[in-house]
Amino acid sequence: MGKRIKLTGTERFLLGLTALFAAAMLLTWLLTPHASRGDYTIEAVPPAEKAETLRAVNINTAGADELVFYDITASFEGRALFTDILTRVAGEIFIPLTVGGGINTLEDFDRVLKCGADKVSVNSGALKDPGLIPAAAQRYGDQCVVLSADVKRVNGQFRVFAKGGREDTGRDALDWIRWCVDHGAGEICLNSIDTDGVRNGFDLEMLDAVAARVNIPIIASGGAGKKEDFLELFHHKGIDAGLAAGIFHQKLLGIRELKEYLNASGVEMRL
């Protein structure tokens, strides 16, 4: 199977903040496919919601293999993940959808899956209650359980952080990830806090350390700035997918352009 390019939408749900999904207001009408032209139209949707929802739908045609939606302040604010806009966008996209943020119980898994998610990503909820990982894997299958790990170097050790990267748990990240894999996590989304937003390349040292300990798919997150970063990433054994947000949303790099470059460079991609 070829490598995958994932596009993530991190949503703070603050008015005026540009993100993948619309903030605060519910949509009454949704996108409607135009049968003859194959494009989309929106009716009676406020301009901000129109722009952001169109961006979500355009991911399908842009060539992303999956969409990852993180409500990155849900755990920190102690609330449930917003699901209204999630349900509507899930109804418009035709690529796998992974959702995370504020996932603390099996009921949260159930609610998000019923909104249209294919997989559920969990971080803080599992750190508070490690039993959530095996319980969710037993009920929904390990293919639905994605361990999201926010990791940062602290005094020479890889530490796992909670609440959107705000709280140092004091736990060794490598040991924690290994435990979760042994108890039912079917995929790892590894976000390096050290490289996130810097755009100088993925944290290959951290990724290699995790890949040496597990044999399930690893999604690399944090640091993508140019197409060469993905080429370097996919030359590392055990990395299944690369995830990025800003470089795609800001049109610094096109997904189709990236995939064609990787294919030409010897990395098999789905085009």
Residue indicated by tokens 């099996």 = 106
More confident residue, 34 or 162: 162
Q: What is the pLDDT of residues 133-171, one digit of tens each?
A: 999 999 999 999 999 999 999 999 999 999 888 899 999
Q: What is the pLDDT of residue 51?
A: 54
Geometric angle at alpha carbon 269, from 264 and 271, rounded to 5°:
95
Q: What is the pLDDT of residue 11?
A: 33
d(CA 223, CA 230): 10
Q: What is the pLDDT of residue 63?
A: 78
More confident residue, 246 or 59: 246
- Residue 181 pLDDT > 80: yes
- Residue 267 pLDDT > 90: no
More confident residue, 135 or 24: 135
First to last CA, the chain: 12
DSSP per residue, 125-183 = HHHH-TTHHHHHHHHH-GGGEEEEEEEEEETTEEEEEETTTTEEEEEEHHHHHHHHHHT
Average pLDDT over residues 127-136: 97
Nearest to 94 by CA among 56, 37, 120, 122: 56
**Contacts of 98 by beta carbon, 8 Å cutoff, 6+ apart:** 6, 66, 67, 68, 69, 117, 118, 119, 120, 121, 146, 189
More confident residue, 68 or 34: 68
Q: What is the pLDDT of residues 212-257, one digit of tens each?
A: 999 999 999 999 999 999 999 999 999 988 888 888 778 888 888 8
Q: How confident is the model at residue 39 (pLDDT cuts 50, 70, 90)?
A: very low
Q: What is the pLDDT of residue 5?
A: 64
- Residue 14 pLDDT > 90: no
Q: What is the pLDDT of residue 53?
A: 56
